Amino acid sequence: MSTTSQLFSDSRTREGTIRVFLCGDVMTGRGIDQVLPAPCDPILYESYIRSARDYVRLAEKANGPIPAPMDPALVWGVALDECARAQPDLRLINLETAITRSEDHVPKGINYRMSPENASCLAAFGVDCCVLANNHILDWGTAGLFDTLVTLERLRIVTAGAGRDLDEARKPAAFDIGTEGRLLLFALATPTSGVPPSWAASEGRAGVNFLPSLDPLHTSGFAEHIRHIKRPHDVVVVSIHWGPNWGHDVPAAQRDFAHALIDEADVSIVHGHSSHHAKAIELYRNRLILYGCGDFINDYEGISGYAEFRSDLRLMYFADIDQAGDLLALEIVPLQAHGFSLVDPSGSDLEWISETLARESGRFGTVLEQRPDGRLNLR
């Protein structure tokens, strides 16, 4: 099963508020897998690097020695403390790696995997739901996807966006929110993020929930799919892997798509990811649109290029929504990647990310305020 129900017992639920933690891409494979207790074979099939251990060496050259074997919880660093403080009802990530020891790599240049044993790091963070609709979940073939699903089921982590057939891939994750309704999480991927059409799930074929285009026809069809499943009092989150890795541009098609889902299907949060850095935030009809959440966990330390985007700065998004689906508050916590973990950024880094998010989001009328502690709030 790719979905389950889960009762939120936090007092906010009784008060009519649901707090959701969201972030961007979580890639706990390759170099990170190598420093965890039970790594896969380090062999890679990349053009210039043939061993995942080389990514460990690059990171150590940039930021100093990394202890190995690393405690799986240390991958998250101070993000654990932030979640303990904020107490989200649901922790949602985009898992951009297969969990498998399969050797059936797809010849695509970059292949991410972590061992099933090392997937304990996801449980250590208390992940409730993994979005699997992305351009790396089938890096190790159908066997890799099946292994991923089995491992996450064993860990009692719900999935959305990929499955053993089309029905499973399209089915939302459903969470009981302690009232008459549910929180439904739909996940899908587009070709602009590098997902090949051949990865699309179909009747009798495993794959991802694939949306060929953001044109009005496909948008309306997806909105109808949501309406068909959504019941009164349900709250809907749509998580979508779209767009290139770099650049702050938000195409008109993405904005039209997000607005249409809110207008036509009463979606509360559009959770966009694929970009390696954070992008603009929009508040539309009291609903939250995150056009690109940036990376959250990966082994990219020490890799040169695109330094102007500061992809080492990572963001935690805590969104409070009421049971009508409206956004009540958004808190953003900036962190920084260091030694395959997350640490608190410096004051100048906090200023940089605050100014960048304010500039990009301001184009959509969104006002962000930086608090004295460096965290950001949407006004």
* DSSP characters over 241-276: E-S-SS-----HHHHHHHHHHHHHH--SEEEEE--S
Angle between helices 252-265 and 216-229 (to 10 degrees): 30
Q: What is the pLDDT of residue 3?
A: 44
Model confidence pLDDT, tens digit, residues 163-182: 999 999 999 999 998 767 89
Report which secondary-structure segment, H or E, holds 148: helix 141-154
Q: What is the pLDDT of residue 16?
A: 80
pTM value?
Answer: 0.96
Model confidence pLDDT, tens digit, residues 58-93: 999 999 999 999 999 999 999 999 999 999 999 999
Residue with tokens 């959701």: 20
pLDDT(8) > 50: no
Report which secondary-structure segment, H or E, holds 92: strand 90-95
Distances (CA, A) of 298 to 25, 50, 56, 102, 280: 8, 18, 11, 20, 22
Model confidence pLDDT, tens digit, residues 281-336: 999 999 999 999 999 999 999 999 999 999 999 999 999 999 899 999 999 999 99
Q: Which CATH number is associated with domain 11-341?
A: 3.60.21.10
Model confidence pLDDT, tens digit, residues 92-109: 999 999 999 999 999 999
Q: Where are the chain's structural domains?
A: 11-341
Q: Which amino acid is at 284?
A: Y
pLDDT(256) > 60: yes
